[in-house]
Amino acid sequence: MDTPTPAALHEAVLGWYDDHARELPWRGVQASPWSVMVSEFMLQQTPVARVLPVHEAWLDRWPTPADLAADTTGEAVRMWGRLGYPRRALRLHAAAVAIVERHDGAVPSSYDDLLALPGVGDYTAAAIASFAFGRRHVVLDTNVRRVLARAVSGVELPAPAVTRTERDVATSLLPDDDATAATWAVATMELGALVCTARQPDCGACPIARMCAWRAAGFPAYDGPPRRGQAWAGTDRQCRGRLMALAREHDIVTTAQAEAAWPEAGQRERCLAGLVDDGLLTQITPGRWALPG
DNA sequence: CAGTCGTGGAT
DNA sequence: TATCCAAGACT
């Protein structure tokens, strides 16, 4: 195995990205910071293919943060459609309101200002600062974590949560200048998304296969703590999902409709109350709910 | 820190 | 068919 020096990794990955980067609406010189920010919210735990049409419709309707901030949270939730995790729509709306109030309607460029916005955690703050403003930040998403786990640490998959060591490795590999660091961030993400995938990595197409510690070690299987699968059938998440689907389809959700969608009374009522508490629904009258106006 | 929070395509 | 997984954030 060749020595995986930072310079060698940079050259290989940046060269590969130059030839294989996807053309996405939120990339390129024409993409506004708002477009990047909307994409980052939508892409949290959601595949690119499903985000594309919603992102386009969203920016067509709300070209700026102020446009979204002036509309209702209910319309944001409706436009969110079936992307999943609809609280992200509420947080994006709240972030737009905060941008109008605190930043004169312009998406802030600093990591700290971004991190202070609703729905923006470490990853999203770093991603927006990097992709929209060309700042130098460690952008640690699931793709980058997997690429570094394999190429540098020699293991199949990263730990369930980001470790200190992991962040140190990523920091040590970050190029010195802002522009190269920003490209490195998006390039390593793209490599993880297209080549170094979770299920079936395409090592034959990988620009750093020569330098990959996992490959050199003979592809040892993951031996970390068991990764918890997400239960679904019969859970509150499934119940909430069905109730929200009803609310998107109808202006008013009645008790009869809710009962048909979820027969178990206790869980149904608990979930309705939870959705109201979250701000995803409002109770118009007893037995009638709707998206918040 | 571990649990919670949607959705649907791929294997 | 059941499981895994997809640019995480929040409590």
| Domain enclosing residue A285, as ranges | 236-290
Q: What is the rounded CA–CA span in Å between residue A41 and residue A229?
A: 23
Q: Which nucleotides of C are covered by protein (CB under 7 A)?
A: 3-10
How many structural domains are present in chain A?
1
Residue A240 lies in a domain: yes
Residues with CB under 7 A from strand C: A 24, 26-27, 39-40, 43-48, 84-85, 91, 118-125, 127, 141-143, 146, 189-190, 192-193, 197-199, 227, 229-230
In whole angstroms, B6 C1' to A266 CA is: 21
Question: How distant, in Å, are the alpha carbons of A25, A75, A244 from that of A288?
Answer: 39, 18, 13
Residue A174 lies in a domain: no
A243: nt with nearest C1' to CA: B6
Q: What is the rounded CA–CA span in Å between residue A12 and residue A188?
A: 11
Residue A267 lies in a domain: yes
Residue A111 lies in a domain: no
Residue A115 lies in a domain: no
Q: What is the rounded CA–CA span in Å between residue A157 and residue A222?
A: 6
What is the model's pLDDT at position A225?
85
Residue A13 lies in a domain: no
Q: Which two tokens stand for residue A263?
A: 């027969």
A40 is catalytic: yes
What is the model's pLDDT at position A3?
62
Q: Which nucleotides of B are covered by protein (CB under 7 A)?
A: 1-8, 11
What is the model's pLDDT at position A173?
98
The set of residues, in sequence order, having a beta carbon less than 8 Å from that of A104 and lying 6+ positions away, is: none
Residues with CB under 7 A from strand B: A 45-47, 50, 82-87, 160-161, 199-200, 228, 230, 232, 235-238, 240-242, 244-245, 274, 280
The set of residues, in sequence order, having a beta carbon less than 8 Å from that of A18 and lying 6+ positions away, is: none
In whole angstroms, B11 C1' to A113 CA is: 41
CB-count burial class (<10 Å; 0-12, 13-18, 19+) for A67: middle
SS3 A149: helix
Looking at residue A250, the DSSP 8-state letter turns out to be -
The set of residues, in sequence order, having a beta carbon less than 8 Å from that of A276 and lying 6+ positions away, is: A282, A283, A289
Of the listed A11, A40, A75, A264, which one is catalytic? A40
Residue A262 lies in a domain: yes
In whole angstroms, B6 C1' to A53 CA is: 18
What is the model's pLDDT at position A276?
98
What is the model's pLDDT at position A203?
98
A143: nt with nearest C1' to CA: C7
> Alpha helix (H) ranges present in chain A?
6-20, 33-43, 48-61, 65-69, 73-80, 87-103, 111-115, 122-133, 142-148, 164-173, 178-194, 213-216, 236-249, 255-261, 265-278
Residue A245 lies in a domain: yes
In whole angstroms, B2 C1' to A121 CA is: 18
Q: What is the per-residue pLDDT across A73-103, written as a single tens digit (0 to 9) for each?
A: 999 999 999 999 999 999 999 999 999 999 9
Token pair 């979820």 is found at A262
The set of residues, in sequence order, having a beta carbon less than 8 Å from that of A98 and lying 6+ positions away, is: A116, A117, A118
Nearest to A43 by CA among A63, A29, A61, A58: A58
A197: nt with nearest C1' to CA: C5
Q: Which residues of chain A have pLDDT under 70?
A: 1-3
In whole angstroms, C11 C1' to A238 CA is: 20
The residue type of A31 is A
Q: What is the rounded CA–CA span in Å between residue A48 and residue A55?
A: 10
